[in-house]
Structure 1
């Protein structure tokens, strides 16, 4: 919602394929990630390098690339003892 820093909802559905229940996955996600827009920008370092770093996404897309400028491709460790690698 406009003017609200926290998301109104976060939804997890593993379509029955999760090793742990969706409710537990949701709690792990909420503990591990800050979904406030400003924190997303900080955590992904989106302002680094200006707009030039995003020009590279125009060719071959945003995802699945091994480029240090694509900070969203870095796997973040989860804050939970329930999650095993």
Structure 2
């Protein structure tokens, strides 16, 4: 999910580079921390990034499963060539479908 969020932030031109870290606690559905590092490449106030991410992405475990359609069996496809950087539609975590909405809400 962190990759999906980061790819959408970069696709929205909110930052040129982005690293997203999401931390959870046992028994708590919402993340206890969302850390977004843009390495000085943000085109908006970095202070709004966490609010943007929390508003546009359901970061609860059930939300991640639903958003990325993780119950669909496709994991054997990742056995060769890995699961990052793939262009097939079945790799939902590579999509940048939230970029336009993020860009609009960021005021870009």
TM-score normalised to the size of structure 1?
0.83
TM-score normalised to the size of structure 2?
0.67
Structure 1 residue 20: deviation in Å?
A: 0.8
Q: Which has the higher contact order (CA 8 A, sep 6+)?
A: 2
Q: 2:67 aligns with which of 30, 39, 43?
A: 43
Q: Which residue of 2 aligns with 1:55?
A: 76
The whole-number CA distance in structure 2 between the counterparts of 1:59 and 1:82 is: 37
* Higher strand residue share: 2
Q: 1:13 aligns with which of 10, 13, 37?
A: 37
Q: How many residues align?
A: 81
When the two chains are superposed, the root-mean-square deviation of aligned CA atoms in Å is 1.5
* Higher helix residue share: 2
What are the ranges of 5 or more consecutive residues in structure 2 without an aligned counterpart? Answer: 1-24
Structure 1 residue 5: deviation in Å?
A: 0.5
